[in-house]
């Protein structure tokens, strides 16, 4: 694993930290590949239920490392795209813990995660147009799917940032934090870890993929995601635990 990305497992949660604080965690190819490798670790380890992606030194990610770009380097992973996860997602949930700035590719990286926790003073934006570039890591595509088109167009064409409070009002951010975003993200992760792991994976897959499904074929498309859930040991354990008024003991089976 690259020293540009720190990885630690804590209580079923894989904490992945971009570790280039002096460069405001600007993304490099090595960091993108390290994040992609961490996501593979998340999916491969049955004891891990979700991940938190954050940045060291009070900033999430200021986007692409422009010095690397001028050298001909693109901060992408072959499968995962910018930052290792913008064109591919692990089957388990990923929470973005955003402090400081999530700009350009940094905002796209946060949007690639499934949930976003942000410090109340954090800033989000895709300023690529100010540099003669395009938010091609998902920003120009995802914003109009998450916001009314005029709002998405304004953010994309002006390149101006918005604060975390406004992002929260618009539904772009799940939770605001007065302290370090990582602390609130850990609280949210604890809630996910307490739930059935098979159900979490299936539910994430449905929420992520179902917007492409024709309405008349929803059940047909959904069935492969859930066919094994209702006959699983976890489903039986969940019912027993509810009846016995205790916490379930998940096996992931």
For the annotated catalytic residues, the residue numbers are 108, 128
Taking each helix axis from N to C end, the angle separating 139-146 and 149-158, rounded to the nearest 10 degrees, works out to 150
Residue 4: DSSP 8-state: T
By the 8 A CB rule, do 69 and 89 touch?
no
Q: Which tokens sit at 214?
A: 């024709």
Q: How many CA atoms lie within 13 A of 237 on its CB side?
A: 16
By the 8 A CB rule, do 97 and 57 touch?
no
Task: Give me the phi and psi of 71, to 5 degrees please.
Answer: -85, 0
Contact residues for 106 (Cβ-Cβ < 8 A; gap 6+): 25, 27, 55, 60, 61, 62, 63
Residue 27: DSSP 8-state: B
CA of 49: how far to CAs of 12, 116, 193, in Å?
5, 17, 6
Residue 30: DSSP 8-state: H
By the 8 A CB rule, do 157 and 203 touch?
no
By the 8 A CB rule, do 176 and 166 touch?
no
């Amino acid at each position: 694993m690259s020293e540009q990305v720190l990885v630690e497992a804590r209580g079923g949660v894989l904490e992945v930290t971009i570790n280039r604080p002096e460069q405001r965690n600007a993304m490099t190819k090595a960091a993108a590949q390290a994040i992609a490798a961490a996501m593979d670790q998340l999916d491969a380890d049955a004891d891990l239920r979700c991940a938190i992606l954050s940045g060291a030194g009070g900033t999430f990610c200021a986007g692409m490392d422009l010095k690397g770009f001028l050298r001909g380097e693109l901060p992408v992973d072959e499968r995962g795209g910018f930052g290792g996860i913008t064109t591919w997602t692990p089957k388990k949930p990923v929470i973005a813990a955003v402090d400081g700035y999530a700009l350009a590719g940094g905002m796209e990286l946060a949007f690639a995660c499934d949930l976003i926790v942000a410090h109340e003073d954090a800033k989000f934006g895709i300023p690529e147009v100010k540099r003669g570039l395009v938010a091609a890591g998902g920003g120009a595509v995802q914003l109009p799917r998450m916001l009314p088109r005029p709002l998405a167009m304004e953010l994309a064409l002006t390149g101006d940032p918005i604060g975390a409070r406004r992002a929260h009002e618009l539904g772009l951010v799940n939770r605001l934090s007065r302290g370090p975003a990582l602390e609130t993200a850990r609280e949210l992760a604890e809630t996910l870890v307490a739930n059935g792991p098979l159900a979490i994976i299936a539910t994430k897959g449905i929420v992520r993929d179902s917007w492409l499904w024709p309405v008349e074929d929803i059940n047909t498309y959904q069935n492969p995601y859930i066919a094994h859930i209702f006959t699983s040991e976890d489903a039986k354990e969940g019912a027993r635990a509810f009846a016995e008024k205790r916490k379930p003991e998940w096996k992931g089976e």
